[in-house]
Chains A and B, each alone.
Chain A
Amino acid sequence: MASIEQRLQHLEDEQAILDTLYGYGHGLDYGHEDAWIDCWTEDAILDWPGRALMHGHAELRTGYRNHTHAPQAWHKHVLVEPRISIEYSVEGDRATVMSMYARLDRYTDGPKIRAFGRYRDTLVRCKDGKWRIKERYPEIESIRKEAPIGVEPFPDSPEARKALAGTQGEKS
């Protein structure tokens, strides 16, 4: 039976992991570069579909600066239903998280869902106690071909073509 301190620690860890997961979307949508970079371990991997794999803070920062932010473009990286599983170990505490996401964007005829899918994440507890993302693999399952206001179209990739299969975008 876990002690009351261990049980409280687990609850605090889940909250801290959520804080980092939410920090990703807010940081990206509103241009909070330092807060966004602070979501990642120094050696973190981010594999945005259709783009070169990013490894480490320098590449993440470049990827971040090439992404749109408000007020250039208004979008929302909405994350829901995070399934968090924490493993405690003397070698280091680690969490795997599976979340759903939807990206909302502005189009000429109003707000729409630009894409949805899921995030497969690994986070670790860092020396300063903060949980940071060590790996994020976003999977896109459905995308809209047309580009939102102020945003580039999705880059072509096998993942994008699969997510467009059966849509009007596939034919264009």
Chain B
Amino acid sequence: MTSIEARVLALEDEQDILRTLYAYGHSIDYGLEADWINCWTEDAVLQWPNRPPLKGHDALRTAFRNHTHAPQAFHKHVIVEPRIDISGDRATVRTMFARLDRYPSGPAVRSFGRYLDVLVRCKDGHWRFQERICEREASRAETPIGAHAPV
């Protein structure tokens, strides 16, 4: 039987991982640069579709600044159904995502797919992305109001 301490820690780890997953979407949608950078390890890799991989905080920061944020463009990076698998200080997470955007006809789903993530527990105790691969499975060709055209 696992100890109470270990069971509580496992639940805390899941909650902390969720916090990081949620921080990604909120901060990119609202332009919270420091929050977003704090989601990543120093050597993290982010693979957005049809773009070269982004490696490390400098590259991530540049990509963040090139991305749209409210109020320039209102969009939502929505994640659901995170499947979290923790092994010691490393976790793999598979999550469904949908991106919502504003179109002339009204709000609509711009794309959906899944995130394949690796997170690690850092020295300060927080879980951060070491790797995020964004698999886009469906995408609308039309460019949303205020946002960049699809790549």
* Chain A residues packing against B (C-beta within 8 Å): 4, 7-8, 11, 14, 80-83, 98, 100, 102, 112-117, 141-146, 165-169
A102 touches B78 (CB 8 A): yes
Interface 0/1 of B1-14, CB less than 8 Å to A: 00011001001100
Excluding A100-B29, A167-B104, 10 further A-B contacts by CB distance (< 8 Å) are A14-B15, A83-B19, A112-B106, A112-B108, A114-B107, A117-B74, A142-B107, A166-B104, A167-B103, A167-B106
Q: Which of B67-105 contact A (CB under 8 A)?
A: 70, 74, 76, 78-80, 100-105
Cα A115 to Cα B106 in complex, Å, equals 8
Cα A28 to Cα B96 in complex, Å, equals 26
A166 touches B145 (CB 8 A): yes
Q: Taking A83-B26, A102-B76, A142-B102 as contacts, is the C-beta distance between A115 and B8 under 8 angstroms? A: no
Residues of B within 8 A of A116 (CB): 74, 76, 100, 107
B30 to chain A, nearest CB (A): 8
- Give me 16 A-to-B residue pairs in the complex whose CB atoms sit less than 8 angstroms apart, sorted by A's number: A7-B8, A11-B8, A80-B80, A81-B21, A81-B79, A83-B19, A83-B23, A100-B25, A114-B106, A116-B100, A117-B74, A142-B74, A144-B107, A146-B106, A166-B102, A167-B145
Count of chain B residues with a beta carbon within 8 Å of a chain A beta carbon: 31
Cα A102 to Cα B106 in complex, Å, equals 12
A130 to chain B, nearest CB (A): 20
Residues of A within 8 A of B21 (CB): 81
Cα A166 to Cα B144 in complex, Å, equals 10
Residues of B within 8 A of A14 (CB): 15
B71 to chain A, nearest CB (A): 9
Cα A4 to Cα B9 in complex, Å, equals 9
B107 touches A7 (CB 8 A): no
Q: Taking A4-B8, A8-B8, A142-B102 as contacts, is the C-beta distance between A80 and B78 under 8 angstroms? A: yes
* Chain B residues packing against A (C-beta within 8 Å): 4-5, 8, 11-12, 15, 19, 21-23, 25-26, 29, 70, 74, 76, 78-80, 100-109, 145-146
Residues of A within 8 A of B22 (CB): 81-83
Question: A80, A113, A141, A169: which contacts B74 (Cβ < 8 A)?
Answer: A141
Closest to B30 in A: A118
Cα A14 to Cα B70 in complex, Å, equals 28
Cα A54 to Cα B70 in complex, Å, equals 27
Residues of A within 8 A of B80 (CB): 80
Q: Taking A11-B12, A81-B78, A102-B78 as contacts, is the C-beta distance between A113 and B100 under 8 angstroms? A: yes
Cα A168 to Cα B5 in complex, Å, equals 56
Cα A117 to Cα B105 in complex, Å, equals 17
Residues of B within 8 A of A82 (CB): 22
Q: Considering residues A81, A114, A146, which has the most beta carbons from chain B within 10 angstroms of its beta carbon?
A: A81
Q: Considering residues B74, B79, B80, which has the most beta carbons from chain A within 10 angstroms of its beta carbon?
A: B74
